[in-house]
Structure 1
Amino acid sequence: MSLLKYKNPNQDGYYGEFGGAFVPEMLYPNVSELQEKYIEIIESEEFQKEFRNLLKDYVGRATPLYFAKNLSEKYNSQIYLKREDLNHTGAHKINNALGQVLLAKKLGKKRIIAETGAGQHGVATATACALMNLECIVYMGEIDIARQAPNVARMKMLGANIIPATSGSKTLKDAVNEALRDWINNATTTHYIIGSVVGPHPFPDLVARFQSVISEEIKWQLKEKIGRENPDYVIACVGGGSNAAGTFYHFVEEKNVKLIAAEAGGFGLDSGKSAATTFLGTLGVLHGSKSIVMQTKEGQVIEPHSISAGLDYPGIGPFHANLFKQNRAEFFSITDDEALQSAFELTKIEGIIPALESAHALAVFGKKKFNENDVVVVCLSGRGDKDMETYLQYL
């Protein structure tokens, strides 16, 4: 397989054997419209100018690439943190939310729906809708609403209508189910902003393109700092995988850059309480695309678990499933305890409180040895404000 196939899906939305668009008949018009128009719209000069100006003046990009001196000394390598936590709204999610709201306006949609787990995508979508004066409905699992109270309050303040998902595990996958039902019932007026590189084609590609600004910046920032564009390693946490797709995007064709993905191991791979999809999943269809899914032999989805609401998902995006299948990326399973330890470690030695999602990426340093001269870039996908209640339980 050529490296180009890692980055971009084929015309049917497949990354190797993963992807596609498996949607109910009533959604075909919407999905087809997106497939036909998204590239032309988002690559137009007018769209790019408006989008880039918003990223710069509203979001606060470029986000810093910070040399973590103390962390580097501890793990005997050259560690840089891509500070997506410093974006407006506190995470990488705003990159995609703004892009998709702009796209929705170009398509003439007046109503926006979204799903959210940790709440960061919900906050980002509510923020973009407030800016663009669009109606915003956010579906969120009942359990996630309880454990992410600060983000729920922010969404309400921004004018979003939050609808709890009360079925199944009452977490992210159930919020996606409810959002898809809404889209089926309101197909002509509504655009569904999927927050990760999951769902039917073209969403995985669309989200990856909007998030690719992360790796685009890393290349020129690293060039400024050390005289070369490419690190030796790039690390990111993966649930569905939007921050990882954006962080990997401009490096997947660079053979000398090693990619590392950190999945949520929960209580451990053998515990029955995990969300480490590449370790526990099999080929299946979930939320509109063929990928690796945690499921029974009969195809029933197995409820995932993670201390991190944003990684609490029983699947993985087709972009990442292909990287895994082709051995282009190395995957690690990080337990709840390992993520917590890494979060407290970063806080104490660098003065940065990370989101629990990002802490999974940081925990790779406890599992893999790097050389002294290795340049390692970690995507710090979000800040820990939203997770303070959880952190306080372990102080």
Structure 2
Amino acid sequence: MKSFLIDENGYYGEFGGAYIPEILHQCVEELQNTYLKVMQSDSFRQEYEQLLRDYVGRPSPLYHAKRLSEKYGYKIYLKREDLNHTGSHKINNTIGQILLARRMGKKRIIAETGAGQHGVATATVCALMDMECVVYMGQTDVERQVVNVEKMNMLGATVIPVTSGNMTLKDATNEAIRDWCCHPSDTFYIIGSVVGPHPYPDMVSKLQSVISQEIKKQLLEQEGREHPDYLIACVGGGSNAAGTIYHFIDDMRTQIILAEAGGKGVETGMTAATITLGKTGIIHGTRTYVIQNEDGQIEEPYSISAGLDYPGIGPIHANLAVKNRATVIPVNDDEAIEAAYELTKLEGIIPALESAHAVGVLNKLSLTPDAVIVLTISGRGDKDINTYLDRI
């Protein structure tokens, strides 16, 4: 059977690849030639797994949300990535990438961040490994994620506000790539999602696949079977979703549902529903779906969630959508806010705004009552409290 995972050329179907400026060719090629050897080595696995256990606090719980299940009539389990150290799934990836950077002899780490969770996770592992850290963050996001900016500063990172474009994640990524072009030899770029040139989408998917690995084991303990009927996760770039589905992607017994940011509505132009509206294009070194106008210029996305307003999508998810392996459902700002309050009141769990989009899918489904659902809560809602309070 043909797999939905990456092929030997760095593509998921027609999506993926490495479309990069010549100055970065050597960096990317070095990474392509190194990442699998290092990540498959015993010394890397041992150190990575030890840090996930003792530093991150894995495995994260698979929690049967009884009151939420009663409301919707399905058996709903929540994969609690919000309980990781630093409050989201991002740390799974940054620990792996910094161990790789160290083995490649790199001295300086750069990153981009939207909601700030990836920036905090990168700054955290740089403090842990005593490495220089520069984080690019759009000025808009700097203002709406003040607490995460202060955390990064406290951890010793240099946060550089980006004032181009609409000053969000896309623009922060542009600046990080420019920095990498200026410092190709000593700098390692820790990309926070399953985006960017090959091998990043595959590397980040593999590092996040610990999520689905644990789901299989935990579901077997709780349900007597390894596979759920449905997996639900939110997608901006899509790393928590890639980790959630990784070990189920070729198992057709499990259906995949992805929640993307509808913003003020997909028909309003104020949206980040890339799969629903996008056309094939190139963004940040990869071929994928991109929100663009008739001339192929990238449109500015919008979402109430700083982590989801990206005009592209990981090539792994573009391929799942085009092959009908995943169902993609836009969830609007208001629906996400409502879902966040519902989860908080029913289960005592305040989700990140990103994760609230995944919860917002539940009332759009009509499934059989015996359906077993695993929904990933990718992060905790501390960083979004002001946004929640503004919307009451």
Q: What is the TM-score when the length of structure 2 is the normalising length?
A: 0.99
Match of 1:378 among 364, 375, 380: 375
Give the AA of the match of 2:272.
A
2:295 corresponds to 1:298: yes
Describe the superposition over 1:333-380 as per-residue Cα deviations: whole angstroms up to 9, x where unpaired.
000000000000000110000000000000111111222210000000
* Offset, 1:295: 0.6
Cα deviation digits, residues 310-340 of structure 1 (max 9, x gap): 0010010100000001000000000000000
- Of stretches 69-78 and 292-301 in structure 1, the one that deviates more from structure 2 is 292-301
CA shift, 1:12, in A, is 2.1
- Report how far residue 31 of structure 1 moved: 0.0
Equivalent of 1:120, from 106, 117, 132?
117
Shift of 1:253: 1.1
Q: Does 1:339 align with 2:336?
A: yes
Counterpart of 1:97 in structure 2 is: 94
Preserved CA contact (<8 Å) 1:75 1:370? no
CA distance in 2, matches of 1:102, 1:235: 30
Query: Matches of 1:99 and 1:299 in 2, distance apart?
Result: 35
Match of 1:278 in 2: 275
* Alignment partners' CA distance in 1, 2:123 and 2:276: 34
- How far apart in 1 are the matches of 2:7 and 2:34? 16
Over the matched positions of the two proteins, sequence identity in percent amounts to 61
Is 1:228 equivalent to 2:225 in the alignment?
Answer: yes
Note if contact 1:273-1:305 (Cα within 8 Å) is conserved in structure 2. yes
Q: Deviations over 1:218-251 (max 9, x none)?
A: 0000000010000000000001100000001000
CA distance in 2, matches of 1:376, 1:11: 32
2:360 is paired with a residue of what secondary structure? Answer: helix
Measure, in 1, the Cα distance between the counterparts of 2:101 and 2:361.
38
Q: Using the alignment, how far apart are the partners of 2:124 and 2:149 within structure 1? A: 13
1:203 counterpart = 2:200? yes
- State how 1:148-163 maps to structure 2 within 5 Å: 148-163=145-160
CA distance in 1, matches of 2:184, 2:106: 10
Give the deviation of 1:3 after TM superposition. Answer: 4.2
Distance 2:86 2:331 in 1: 26
SS in 1 for 2:112: strand
Q: How many residues align?
A: 392
Work out the CA distance in 1 between the residues paired with 2:391 and 2:278: 30
Give the corresponding residue for 2:75.
78
Deviation at residue 267 of structure 1 after TM alignment: 0.3
TM-score by length of 1: 0.99
Question: SS of the residue aligned with 1:249?
Answer: helix
RMSD over aligned Cα, in angstroms? 0.6
In structure 2, the residue matched to 1:359 is 356
Superimposed CA distance per residue, residues 50-80 of structure 1 (whole angstroms, 9 cap, x where no aligned partner): 0000000000000000000000000000000
Unaligned runs of 5+ in 2: none
Give structure 1 stretches of 5+ with no counterpart: none
In structure 2, the partner of 1:313 is 310
Q: Does 1:265 align with 2:295?
A: no
